[in-house]
Amino acid sequence: MSNTKHDFRIETLGTPSIPSPIKLSERLDDYIANYVSEDHRIIYDIETSAAKRPKALDPKELLEPAGPRKQVYFDGPKVKAAIVTCGGLCPGLNDVIRSIVMSLWYHYGVRRITGIRYGYRGFIPEFRIPDMELTPETVAEIHQKGGTILGSSRGHGERTEELVDSLERMNINLLFAVGGDGTQRGAYNITKELRRRGLKIGVVGIPKTIDNDLSFIEKSFGFETAVSVAVNAVAGAHVEAHDAINGIGLVKVMGRESGFIAAHTALAINDVNFVLIPEVPFDLDGDNGLLAHLERRLERRGHAVILVAEGAGASLMPTSETTDSSGNRKFGDIGLYLQRRLNEHFGQKGIETNLKYIDPSYLIRSAPANPNDSLYCARLGGNAVHAAMCGKTGMLVSQVNGHFVHVPIAMAVAQRNRINPESALWRDVIDATGQPSLMKN
Amino acid sequence: MSNTKHDFRIETLGTPSIPSPIKLSERLDDYIANYVSEDHRIIYDIETSAAKRPKALDPKELLEPAGPRKQVYFDGPKVKAAIVTCGGLCPGLNDVIRSIVMSLWYHYGVRRITGIRYGYRGFIPEFRIPDMELTPETVAEIHQKGGTILGSSRGHGERTEELVDSLERMNINLLFAVGGDGTQRGAYNITKELRRRGLKIGVVGIPKTIDNDLSFIEKSFGFETAVSVAVNAVAGAHVEAHDAINGIGLVKVMGRESGFIAAHTALAINDVNFVLIPEVPFDLDGDNGLLAHLERRLERRGHAVILVAEGAGASLMPTSETTDSSGNRKFGDIGLYLQRRLNEHFGQKGIETNLKYIDPSYLIRSAPANPNDSLYCARLGGNAVHAAMCGKTGMLVSQVNGHFVHVPIAMAVAQRNRINPESALWRDVIDATGQPSLMKN
Amino acid sequence: MSNTKHDFRIETLGTPSIPSPIKLSERLDDYIANYVSEDHRIIYDIETSAAKRPKALDPKELLEPAGPRKQVYFDGPKVKAAIVTCGGLCPGLNDVIRSIVMSLWYHYGVRRITGIRYGYRGFIPEFRIPDMELTPETVAEIHQKGGTILGSSRGHGERTEELVDSLERMNINLLFAVGGDGTQRGAYNITKELRRRGLKIGVVGIPKTIDNDLSFIEKSFGFETAVSVAVNAVAGAHVEAHDAINGIGLVKVMGRESGFIAAHTALAINDVNFVLIPEVPFDLDGDNGLLAHLERRLERRGHAVILVAEGAGASLMPTSETTDSSGNRKFGDIGLYLQRRLNEHFGQKGIETNLKYIDPSYLIRSAPANPNDSLYCARLGGNAVHAAMCGKTGMLVSQVNGHFVHVPIAMAVAQRNRINPESALWRDVIDATGQPSLMKN
Amino acid sequence: MSNTKHDFRIETLGTPSIPSPIKLSERLDDYIANYVSEDHRIIYDIETSAAKRPKALDPKELLEPAGPRKQVYFDGPKVKAAIVTCGGLCPGLNDVIRSIVMSLWYHYGVRRITGIRYGYRGFIPEFRIPDMELTPETVAEIHQKGGTILGSSRGHGERTEELVDSLERMNINLLFAVGGDGTQRGAYNITKELRRRGLKIGVVGIPKTIDNDLSFIEKSFGFETAVSVAVNAVAGAHVEAHDAINGIGLVKVMGRESGFIAAHTALAINDVNFVLIPEVPFDLDGDNGLLAHLERRLERRGHAVILVAEGAGASLMPTSETTDSSGNRKFGDIGLYLQRRLNEHFGQKGIETNLKYIDPSYLIRSAPANPNDSLYCARLGGNAVHAAMCGKTGMLVSQVNGHFVHVPIAMAVAQRNRINPESALWRDVIDATGQPSLMKN
C-alpha cells in the first residue's frame, strides 16, 4: 500500500540471440523445467485492501524473475568473467564465488574466470595486486571456510574511470560485484561509464549486506548465520549476567543504519531485556531513559541483558564526522560508550553491578555460512550468472516475496532498508523483550 | 498464474467487541506499531505477465494478515485454553508451545492453560492421561530442548465427537492444535462439530510438517533445522564414500509425499550425486536407470552419494497398503530396499563396492530448533494467539509471501504441497547434482 | 625426577565406622566393583632414569585414590551439606553441582543440601543473600546450561571467622567449595579454624581453574571446553587476517599466571603464528622483538595471527598494582595494549595493516561443558562426595596420572601450576607456530 | 598392582649418530626445551600399596618417553617415507597424516613422502592403486575434514612378504602405519620380515582404535570426538523416548570387544538407563533379565534409553562365525536383534511401546576431530616422526600416564584393552545409570 512509484525495468546490452547451452524445456508436464519466459513477472507490492478493488499494476512496477532464458547474449567459451568481493566479511562469500564459477564453467562453458583480489582495489594498477585464476578445482571446497578467498577491502569504488580502464585492458566481458551499498554504487557508476563508452560489458551485483539494510533485498545472504552467532553471544551474556550480583550483559552487534541483526537475535533467544537500534531513538537519562529502566529491572530481577546495534544511539555520543574509506560515516563505539555510562551511573549511586561487555562482531563476520545460507548463496550465484549471460546489466539478483528476481542497482542503492518501528517485526521485538516501546522522555 | 480459485475467508465465532488489552496505536509516525486492520489483505498469487494488465483480484482470494486487532472476542481472564501436539516430532514444537503460553499469559491475561498430553489421545477419557498445567514458569526454558514437553502420538483425530465432548467437559474455549495433515483434518472436523453444536470454542491450527508438504504453508517450522541435520548426515556419508573403494553413501531422509528436505539438503551441500524424491519417478534397471548411472559414476569417480526421500520410488517396491494410526499410507523402507538392490547389483557384476547406509531421521526430528526456526516458531505461536483471541476459528497461522497470514484449515488440507519437477527449485537441484533429469527408460 | 618432597597425607575428622550404604564388593572376579582400600596408593612422581634403580618411595609421597570406602564417617540422613561456587565462571560448574547433589542424595541418603549463593559472600549475614535448597529435581537439567545456578562472586574467602560462624549457625556438616586458588586458600583457612574450634565439619574442595594453574591438578574441569571456544575465536581471527591486506588477527584468552589455554589452543588449530604467555618473557621492540618478527611475517605472508594470554607481557605495560576482590593482582589489558602498540608501530612506518582484535573471554567462561568435560565433572563431584562422607577434610579431589585422587588443599595452593618453557608442551607449541623460541633481545 | 611382567624395550635400526636438525638445548633454565635423554623413563605401573615399600622396578618395565633426541639415525633429505591408513574411519586420521608430513618436512627436511592409498591394499601391485605425493601444501587444510585423504580399507596386512617387497621396490625408509589391531599386527610382521632380510627400514605405528581397545593406549585419538557424537545420538533418543507413550530409545555404538564408547557416553549424558557392553554378560529373559528390568522401568517412568555396544550380548544371538577381511570376527547386529526382541516381548504382552532405533556409527566415524583430538593427533604424529628418525622401529607412539611414550607393537597387540567390570569406570557407569550391576539370572 506504499505510494512510491517503482521502475524495475532492467537494462540489457543487446538482444540475446544465441540458443542457451542449458537444455531445458518449453512445455509443461514433461518433468523438465522450462526456461524463464521474458514475459513472466512478479508482483512487488502485495499489501492491499479488502474493501477496494486492487489497482491495475503498471508493468514497470513488476519484478523480472531470475533464471535461465532460452536465448543468451554471450557465447560462453569466448567470455572472460571477473569476480570481486568488497567491504567487510560476511558469511557465504565463498559460497557465492563458488557458485558463480561453477555455473559459468559447467552451464555456459566459460573457461576464463578471474578473481580480483582485495575488492575494487585489486583493479587499480598502482597497488600491483595479482589476480587469481578461478576454476572448479580451486573453488570446490571453499564454501566450507568463512571469509572470501579473494580477500576484501573497502573503498576505491568511486574511481570509476580507472576501474573501467582496467575492465577494458583485461578484456573482461562480465563483472560480478559482490558487496554492499558502496560497492553497488561503484558498480552502478561503472555501468554508466561503460554505457558512455559503448562497451558491451555486463555488470551484475550480488548484494552483500550483513546488516540487511539494502532496499529490495528481502533477505541478505549470511544474515541468518550472523543471527545464529549473535544468539550464541547473547546466550553467554545472559549466563554472565544471571550468575553475578546485579549482572549486566551488554552485547554489541553490527547494524550501522539498521537494527535487523539485533531485532532478529532478540526474537530468536528469549533472554534480551533491552534492544537498542538506530531506527528507534532513546534517552539514557531521565525517568523514561535506559538507565532508569535498567535500574528498575535490576531491582526487580537482579540481572539484565542489553543488545545494541552499532549504529544505535548515535546522537547520544560525541561523534567524529569523518568517513571511512568506503564513504561510510564513522561512529563512536556505542558499546564502549554504554559500558562507561552504565558503570558511571551505578558507581555514582553506589549500586554494585557487574557489567560484562561482549563484542562478537568479528566472530559473526568470519563464520562459514550455515546450511540455509549456503543453499541461498548457491542459488543467488547461479541466478547472477543466468542474468549476466543473457546480457542483463546494471542489476542485482535478489529474493523478493520468495522469488529470485532482478532489481536495477539504481533502485537498490537509492535508499537504505530500515526497520519500521511500526512494523510487525518491531512490535514482536517489543513483545518479546518487554521493554518500553520508546525510551524517550 | 495458477487458474485455481481460492477462498481464503476465515470463519469467526462472533464479532470482537472487547478492546484489546495490548496497547498499540492507530496512527502512523508515532513510533508505536498499529493494530492490524481488518481491511488489510495480502495478495496470494503474485506471478503474472508483463504483457497483459493484471486481473482484478477477487477479495476472497486475498489473504488475511495475522497480528493483534484492536478489538478481541474473548476476555482473557475468563478463557481456558488447551494446547495439543500431535504426530511425529519436529524441531520447534517446544518453541511453539512456549510462545503460545507466553502470549496468552502476558498479552491477554489468560491464566488457565492446559497441555493435552500425547496428542489427541490425551483427550480421550479411556486412556486416562493426566493433563499438564502450563504457566510461564513451566515453559520458560523448554525451547532449549528438542521434542515436545506434552509428548505426542499419532491418530485419534477422527474421533471427532469424543474430542468435542472433552472440550465441552473441560470448559475449554480455545484449542491450539499443533500438527500435520491428519491433525489439521481432525481440527477441521472438530470445528464443524463445534459449529453444529453451536459452541463458541475457537480452533486454531499451527501447521507442523517437517516434510514441508502442507499447502499454503510456505515455510514449515523446523524445516531449516531438519535440513541442517540432514546436511550433517550427508557430509558423513560423503566422507565414508570418498574414503572407501567404490564407496557409496546412501542417506534416507523424511519425505513421504514430497521431497523438500532431500532437495534443500542437496542444494545446501555440494556432495550429493543423486536425489530421489516422491515427485519424480525413476527406474532402477535399464540403461537410463539409477543402477546404470551409478555404475558409470563409480567408474568415473570411484565414489557416490545418494540421497533418498522416504516416499521416493514407492512403485518400485512391493508395498503393503496398510495405513498407520494417523491414516498415513505405510511405506516399505526405500533405504533398505536400495541398499539391498545396490549390493545385489554390484555383487552379481563382481564389482567391489562399499555401501554405507545412514538413516538420520530420529536425529533430525528430535533436534532442538536452530535460531532461525526458534524465531519463526515464536512469531507463529504469538500470531496464533492473536487470531484465537479475536474469535477466528477453523484456521491456521502460516507465512505466505513473507507475511504471517490466516489460512482456512479446509484449504490447507485439501491438497499436498509437492515439489513441481518443472520448478526453479528442482531445476537447481538437477544443476547442483548433475544427475540426469529423469531416470526413466 | 623432581627433588621436591611432597606430603600427600590427608586429614580426617575421625575414624569411619559406619558401613557404607553403597553396596560394593570386597573380592575380585564377581563382576562387582570393590570398595577402595585405604591401603591403596598412586605413585605421583613417575619420571625416572633407566640407568639407576628407582628410589624407594616414601609412603607420604604417594597419593590416596578417590572413591567409595567400605566404612563412612557420616550418617547420610543426619548430614546437612552446603555447596558454594566462587570466582569467575567456568564451563562445568553446573555439572559439578549436579553430581554432588545426586551422589549425596542417591548414594548416601543426604536430604538437606544447601546451595550458598554468590560465592563465600552468601555466607556473610550482612549481605542477606537467601540460600537455595538443592534436590535431584532442582538440579536434574542444570548441566545443560553454562555458568552456575548458585551464582558466583569473588572474594570474602579471607573472612574465615565469619565463614566458620555461619557453618556452625547453619548446622552444616559438609562444605563443598568449588573454586580456584583464592577459594581454596579460603577453604584451607576454614579447615584450620574448624580444627581449632574442634568442629567435626568436613571441607572438600573441587578445584576450578579455567587457566589450569593449580598445582597437582593435572586437568581442570572446563579446560577442554575453554580451548574449544578459544579455537573457534582463533579460526575467526585467521579468516579476518587472511582476507585483509596485511591482516593481523589478535586474540586474547584467559591465563593470568599461566598460558595453558593459549598453548593448547595454538596446538589444536594450526593458524596461530605467535603465542604469548606469562611464563615466557618477550620484547616488543628491537630486532628480535615481536614487532620486528611480525613485520617480517607480514612481508613474507601478508597476514598473521597472534594469541596472547591475559597475563603475558605484564612487565611491558605500566601496571597498576592494585588487587581485585579475590586478592588477585590486577593487570593492564595486554590485548588492548598490543592493539595500540601494533597500530602505532605500523602507522609510523606507513605500513597499511588491518588489525582485528577479538576478546572471547566471556564466551569461553559461560559456555556449557562439552561431553568430555561433563563426564569429568560428573566423576569429580561423585568422588568429592565419597571423600567427604568418609570424613576426609582439608582436601581436594583431582586427577593425577589418570587416577582420581585426594590432594591436601595446602599443597595445591602452595604454588601455581605454570608452563615449563623447557617442557614438551611448549616445545610442541614452538614447533607448531614456527615462532622464535624466545623473542628477547 | 598387576603381576604381569612387561618388557617395554624398543628395537632400533642402529645407533643414531647424526646430529638432529632440530635445535634444542641440553641445559635447563635457558628457556629452550631440552632433547629427550635416552636415559629418561616413565613408570608404567603406578598403583601400589601404602603398607609395603614399593618394589624395585626392572628397567625393562619402564616406558621410553617420546620426543626429539640429540642424535638421529636417518638423514632427512635422503629419506623416503610412506604413510598408510587402514581399517575403519576414525576422527583425526587427517590430523595425524598432516602432522607426520609437517614434522618430516619442516623438522627433518624429508622431501619424499608417499601416501599409500586404501590401506595395505595400496602396496599390493595387483590392485594397481596409484600413490599420492604428500607435501605441506597438499595436507595444509585436511584436518578440517573427517576421514582420511588417503582412503582406507580393511585387510591385506597378512601379506607380509608382498608388503615388504613393495617397501623395498619403492625405496621406502620409513613406514608410518595408522591403524588398529589388525594393522599393527601387520606392521609387527613387516618389522620381523624386514629384520630377517636385514633391511634398515623403520616401522612406526600410530594406534587407531575408536573403540579404545588396544593395550597400553591410554587414550586413542578420535575417541573423545566419537563420544561427543554418540552423546548427541543419545540426546535424540532420549527426546524420542520421552515424548512417546512407553518410548524406548535404543542406540547402538561401536565397540566389538570393549564398551568404552558406550561407557563414556553414558557418563557424559545423564539420560541412559541401561548400558550393555561386551565385557559384562547379561540375560534378556528371566526376572533379572533386561526385558524384565526394562518393563519395570517403563511402568515406573514411561520411557527408557538403552545404549548398546556392537559387541555386547554376542552369546545371545545366533552368530555366524565368519571373519571379515581384517580377520575380525563378524557379529550379528545386536541393535537389530534387541529391536526385534523388545518389540516381540512387549507385543506379546500387549504393552504399547514406541521403540526408536538409532545407529549413528557412520556419523561417529566420519566426524572431523574436535579441538582436543586435533591437538592430540598433532602431538602423536610429531612424536611418531621423532621416533622414526631416531631409528626406532616395531613400535607405537602412545600416551601413558599422561606422557607420550614408545610401546613395542608386540606388546600392544598381545591383548585387548577392555573395561574391567570391577573398575572405577564401570562402577561410575552403574551409579550414573542406576541399572542393576549384573543382569544375569
**CA–CA gap between residue A356 and residue A50 (Å, rounded):** 50
Which region among B28-37, C143-152, D188-197 has the lowest average model confidence (pLDDT)?
A: B28-37
Asked if pLDDT for residue B53 goes beyond 70, the answer is no
Cα distance between residue A187 and residue A184, in whole Å: 5
pLDDT tens digits for B348-383? 999 999 999 999 999 999 999 999 999 999 999 999
Picking from C238, C351, C244, the residue whose alpha carbon sits closest to that of residue A129 is: C244
Q: What is the Cα–Cα distance from A353 to A340, expressed in whole angstroms? A: 12
Under CATH, what is the fold of the domain D223-365+421-433? Rossmann fold (3.40.50)
* b/e burial code for range D265-293 (CB count within 10 A of at least 16 → b): bbbbbbbbbbbbbbbbbbbbeeeebbbbb
D267–C375 CB contact, under 8 Å: yes
Yes or no, beta carbons of B363 and D359 under 8 Å apart: no
pLDDT of residue B4: 63
CATH class (in words) of the domain with range D11-220+367-412: alpha beta
- Name the region of B151 (left: φ>0; alpha: ψ -120 to 50; beta: rest): left
In chain A, ranges of CATH 3.40.50.450 domains: 11-219+367-412
Per-residue pLDDT band for D47 (boundaries 50, 70, 90) equals confident
- Residues in CB range of C144: below 8 A, 6 or more apart: B144, C94, C368
Chain B partners of A265 at a C-beta cutoff of 8 Å?
371
Contact (CB<8Å) D431/C228: no
Q: Which range (A324-328, C212-216, D330-334, D383-387) has the least confidence?
A: A324-328
- Ranges of beta strands (E only) in A232-389 are 247-253, 274-276, 303-309, 354-358
Q: Which residue in B2, B10, B137, B270 has the most chain A C-beta atoms within 10 A of its own C-beta, making it the best mutation to test that interface?
A: B270
Question: E strands, B44-161, where?
Answer: 47-49, 62-65, 71-72, 80-85, 112-116, 132-133
**Interface partners of B (3+ CB pairs, < 8 Å)?**
A, D
Instruction: Tell me the per-residue pLDDT of B266-275, one tens digit each, with 9 for 90 and over.
Output: 999 989 999 9
C44 Cβ neighbours under 8 A, 6+ residues apart: C6, C8, C61, C62, C63, C400, C401
Check if A63 contacts B (Cβ < 8 Å). no
Q: In what helix (H) or strand (E) does residue A49 lie, and over which residues does it extend?
A: strand A47-49
Q: Are A367 and C236 in contact (CB under 8 A)?
A: yes
Mean pLDDT, residues B91-98: 96
Share above pLDDT 90 across residues of chain B, in percent, rounded to a whole number: 74
Three-state DSSP at A73 gives coil
User: C-alpha distances in angstroms, A26 versus A29, A32, A69, A220, B1?
Assistant: 10, 9, 10, 32, 16
Q: Per-block average pLDDT, block size 10, for chain A (441 residues)?
A: 73 94 86 88 87 71 94 96 96 96 96 96 93 95 93 91 95 96 94 95 93 82 95 96 96 94 94 95 93 96 96 80 50 87 95 96 95 95 96 95 94 86 89 84 80
Q: Say if the Cβ atoms of A48 and B48 lie within 8 Å.
A: no
pLDDT digits (tens, 9 = 90+) for B117-172: 999 999 999 999 999 999 999 999 999 999 999 999 988 888 999 999 999 999 99
C-alpha distance from residue D214 to each of A261, C243, D191, D210, D220 (Å): 50, 44, 19, 10, 8
Nearest neighbour of D236 by CB, restricted to B146, B149, B237: B146
Output the CA angle B213-B218-B221, nearest 5 degrees: 75
Candidates A67, A93, A79; CA nearest to A226 is: A93
Confidence of residue D413 (pLDDT cuts 50, 70, 90): confident
Please list, in sequence order, all residues whose beta carbon lies within 8 angstroms of the beta carbon of residue C296, skipping any fewer than 6 positions away: none
Longest dimension (CA), chain C: 77
Quote the cell numbers at residue D302: 514411561
> What are the angstrom distances between the C-alpha of C322 and each of A63, B81, C326, C328?
65, 59, 11, 9
The length of chain C in residues reads 441
Which part of chain B is CATH 3.40.50.450? Answer: 11-220+368-412
Among A140, B303, B300, residue whose Cα is nearest residue D118:
B303
**Integer Cα distance of B264 and B281 in angstroms:** 18
**All chains having 3 or more CB pairs closer than 8 angstroms to chain C:** A, D
- Establish if A136 touches chain B: CB-CB under 8 angstroms: no
Q: For B117, which residue in chain D has the nearest alpha carbon?
A: D243
Which residue in chain C is spatially nearest to D50 when comparing CA positions? C39
Cα Rg, chain D, nearest whole Å:
24
Strands D40-43 and D62-65: antiparallel
Angle at D95 between CA D89 and CA D100, to 5 degrees: 115
User: Is the pLDDT assigned to residue C1 strictly greater than 60?
Assistant: no
**Residue A62 backbone dihedrals phi, psi, to 5 degrees:** -100, 145
* The pLDDT of residue A54: 58
pTM for this prediction: 0.93
Tens of pLDDT along D21-42?
A: 998 888 888 888 889 998 899 9
Return the C-alpha cell found at D292. 524384565
Q: Which residue has the cell 518410548?
A: D247
- Quick one: cell of D298? 517403563
pLDDT tens digit string along C153-178? 988 888 999 999 999 999 999 999 99
For D189-223, letters b (16+ CB in 10 Å) and e give: bbbebbbeeeeebbbbbbbbbbbbbbbbbebbbbb
Spatial distance between the Cα atoms of D257 and B56, rounded to a whole number of angstroms:
73
Whether domain B11-220+368-412 has CATH 3.40.50.1100: the reply is no
Tell whether C288 lies on the interface with A, counting CB pairs under 8 A.
no
CB–CB contact D54 C50 (8 Å): no
Torsion sign (Cα): B321, B325, B326, B327: positive
CATH 3.40.50.460 maps onto chain D at 223-365+421-433
Is residue D429 within 8 angstroms of chain B, CB to CB?
A: no
Choose among D34, D42, D56: nearest Cβ to C47.
D42
Q: Is B147 on the interface with D (CB under 8 A)?
A: yes
pLDDT above 90 covers a percentage of chain D that reads 74
Catalytic residue among D30, D95, D181, D211: D211
Q: Do D370 and C143 touch (CB under 8 A)?
A: no
pLDDT mean across residues, chain C: 91
Measured between alpha carbons, how far is D116 from D131 in angstroms, rounded to an integer? 5
* Confidence band, pLDDT 50/70/90 cuts, at residue D410: very high
What span, in angstroms and rounded, lies between the C-alpha atoms of B360 and B337?
16
Chain A residues whose CB is inside 8 A of the C336 CB are none
Across the interface, whether the CB atoms of B53 and A56 are under 8 A apart is answered: yes
The CATH code of the domain at A11-219+367-412 is 3.40.50.450
Best-predicted range by mean pLDDT (A166-180, B308-322, C46-60): A166-180
Decide if C167 touches D, using CB distance below 8 A.
Answer: no
What amino acid occupies position A253? V
Question: Do A67 and A387 meet the contact criterion of CB atoms below 8 Å apart?
Answer: no
- Residue D163 main-chain phi, psi, to 5 deg: -65, -45
pLDDT at B321 over 60: no
Instruction: Report the C-alpha gap between A116 and A174 in whole angstroms.
Output: 12
Would the CB atoms of A363 and C358 count as touching at under 8 Å?
Answer: yes
Cβ–Cβ < 8 Å for A203, A394? yes
Q: What is the pLDDT of residue D60?
A: 87
D148–B232: do the CB atoms touch at under 8 Å? no
On the question of pLDDT at B2 being above 50, the answer is: no
Chain C within 8 Å of D61 (Cβ-Cβ)? Answer: no
Helices of type H across C74-144: 93-102, 108, 136-139
Q: Which residues belong to CATH 3.40.50.450 in chain C?
A: 11-220+367-412
C-alpha cell at C395: 582436601
pLDDT tens, position by position, C124-138: 999 999 999 999 999
Question: Chain A contact for C132, CB < 8 A?
Answer: no
Calpha distance D186→D74 (Å, rounded): 23
Write down the architecture of domain B223-366+421-433 according to CATH.
Answer: 3-Layer(aba) Sandwich (3.40)
Nearest-neighbour CA in chain A from B203: distance (Å): 23
**Mind telling me how many Å the CA of D4 is from chain C's nearest CA?**
17
Q: What is the pLDDT of residues B389-437, one digit of tens each?
A: 999 999 999 999 989 999 999 998 888 888 888 888 999 999 888 888 7
Q: What single DSSP character describes residue C395?
A: E
**What is the DSSP pairing of strand D174-179 with strand D202-207?**
parallel
